[in-house]
Chains A and B, each alone.
Chain A
Amino acid sequence: MDWLNSIVQGVLVGGLYAMFAAGLSLIFGVMRLVNIAHGDFVVLAAYLALVVTQALGIGPLASLLVIAPLMALIGYGLQRWLLNRTLGDDLLPPLLVTFGLSVIIQNGLLEVFSPDSRKLQAGAIETATIPLSPDLSIGVLPLLQFLVAVAMIGGLQALFYRTSWGRALRATSDDQSTVQLVGVDNRHVFGLAMGLSLAVVAVAGVFLAVRANFDPSMGPARLIFGFEAVIIGGLGNLWGTLAGGVVLGVAQAIGSKVDPGWQLLAGHLAFLIVLAVRPEGFFPRVQA
């Protein structure tokens, strides 16, 4: 029962990892950009939530109404005025510019908020549980986090495949010079994709902040979890990122059950095993 409990917790944490991964996967899919600062944006959103909840006296979930649009705006601006200039055949500029951003965000947060770890208080919901059996109960908050992740990925999927905006995103992903011939402004589309990615990051950041302590140095590890979930799930597949997140979460939960020092290592090993035996991931998008 103890093991089952750990595995259930792992599955639910996987939802959070899927949120990290979905934002990463989205911009890679649309513009082949890997944002090294992705994890630092998650932490930035957590700190913004801290400021907003304190300033407005609202709960963490309500603060998303402010933070998600704000992060989306930051993302759009960043893409239009900075990252679009780095896109091209050369791999180095986007990588190194986002690497520079990562250093700037981390140290900026350190300067403003100090290295002390913080946490968002969500009230009674934090400790509420749903008992499934005498030995097994599920926390309401982790469950909510998982359901939000599922809803978000479902929403992104619908947006990509059911709306004209999604069509523009997919067309730009397929061939960014040809879409311009049919009147799509790819710079604008890239901006929207980054805005969407950071809106997803905002949700992930708030859940991260409620779930556990956070500090300015946590970003890179979040980037790595998201990246591992993307690769395990298979490049270019949003539902795959959910599967990848769950695999990673369960591997970490089992690892920490064996020995607390093995939590992160077990997650990385799961990723490396997938890379060794199935480098295309579990559910790669079928390439035409």
Chain B
Amino acid sequence: MTITRGARASRLTAYAALVIVAALASAPLWAGPSNLNLLTQVFAYVALATMWNLLAGFSGLVSVGQQAYVGIGGYALFALTMFGGLHPLVALVMAGVIGGLLALPVAALVFRLRGAYFAIGSWVAAEVFRLLASQITALGGGSGTSLPARIVVDMAAGRQAREFMIYWTGLALVLVVIGLAIALLRSRWGLALRAIHHNELAARSNGVEVTRIKLLVYVVAGFCTAMAGALIFLQKLRISPDAAFSVNDWTAFVIFMAVIGGIGRVEGPIIGAIVFFVLRQSLSDLGSLYLMMLGLVAIVIMLRAPRGVAGWLHDRFGFEPIPLERRVTYSSTMHESKPEPQHV
């Protein structure tokens, strides 16, 4: 009898992931600027959706206010480069730190609300940040501002070098975010999160510090989401309160990705983001009809297959590319037939 985390599929995933990462890292050699641009957007969205999934799918914190951290990250990047003179890449990491720090006072307030009211409370917090951002006259107030040309020019030697730098930053960011999520979920805190998910009262009575663990997850999500926000607005080179704190762009789309891909599975948001971008490339000309369709798809999935594509693959084929749980495997001499894997 052995206890393992992986199976053959997850070892294959590891090899496949290496190949995919190598291919993506070499993309500047084979892809044009517009494709690099598109891929960077996909990376940012995978990072956002992974963090939303960590909150809603694993920690019971359903937030409709993560656009707060996207906006904070974007504004922090602009402020730190324009007034602090920092290099954009340093500013990007600092933006994450600022996002994580601001998550603490926000949590102190919104954690007083339970369940669905937490969702709307987090939205109010995002609105407050949007309104505050429109009061910062140094960053253009309500109409926003562009990143000054000297900062853009000084970033790297030449236009191409800058594009490559932003692309690789995006790739590094998404790998760090996914890696962080997996590490967190495989740690003892991840185990505690699963215990809370199954029965919060039982977890609490066994000494799991529910509030502290949720706070940890919320701060990590604030950190990563703010970095993704900084990347998004480094790519756009222009920021305004309405764009930076948009609930549609940074939360509604992200929720669609997580729902379609599969809430509560690490690979879900990755699958969801790919599906979302394929749909967007082919259907976005439909405008508001396209958005209505997305809303309908989300409702149907929530009713018919609430665990999304990744959940369906797992239930139907046992496909588990990124296993979080350990399982017991019995050797064939002990049992005639292989028993059901025990999830620990």
Chain B 107-132: CB-based contact to A (< 8 A → 1; otherwise 0) = 01110110111011101100110011
Q: Which of B120, B294, B298, B299 contacts A227 (CB 8 A)?
A: B120
Residue ID in chain A nearest B298 by CB atoms: A100
Q: Which of A71-86 contact B (CB under 8 A)?
A: 82, 85-86
What distance in Å separates the Cβ of B249 from its nearest Cβ neighbour in chain A? 12
B148 within 8 A of A: no
On chain A, which size bracket covers the interface? 35 or more
- A95 near B113: Cβ-Cβ < 8 Å: no
- B299 near A97: Cβ-Cβ < 8 Å: yes
What distance in Å separates the Cβ of A31 from its nearest Cβ neighbour in chain B? 11
Complex contacts, A90 vs chain B, CB 8 Å = 306
- B302 near A103: Cβ-Cβ < 8 Å: no
Q: A107-B292, A275-B113 are in contact. Are A93 and B263 (CB under 8 A)?
A: no
- A275 near B112: Cβ-Cβ < 8 Å: yes
On chain B, which size bracket covers the interface? 35 or more
Q: A96-B255, A265-B132, A268-B131 are in contact. Are A91 and B120 (CB under 8 A)?
A: no
Report the separation of the CA atoms of residues A279 and B112 in the bound assembly, to the nearest whole angstrom. Answer: 7
What distance in Å separates the Cβ of B275 from its nearest Cβ neighbour in chain A? 16
Complex contacts, A102 vs chain B, CB 8 Å = 295
Report the separation of the CA atoms of residues A32 and B295 in the bound assembly, to the nearest whole angstrom. Answer: 22
Residue ID in chain A nearest B112 by CB atoms: A279
- A268 near B128: Cβ-Cβ < 8 Å: yes
B56 within 8 A of A: yes
Chain A 78-122: CB-based contact to B (< 8 A → 1; otherwise 0) = 000010011000111111110111111011101100000000000
A269 within 8 A of B: yes
- B124 near A96: Cβ-Cβ < 8 Å: no
A245 within 8 A of B: no
A148 within 8 A of B: no
- B131 near A34: Cβ-Cβ < 8 Å: no
- A103 near B294: Cβ-Cβ < 8 Å: yes
Question: Which residues of B come within 8 Å of A, CB atoms?
Answer: 56, 60, 62, 64, 108-110, 112-113, 115-117, 119-121, 123-124, 127-128, 131-132, 134-135, 142, 247, 252, 255, 259, 263, 288-289, 291-292, 294-296, 298-299, 302-303, 306
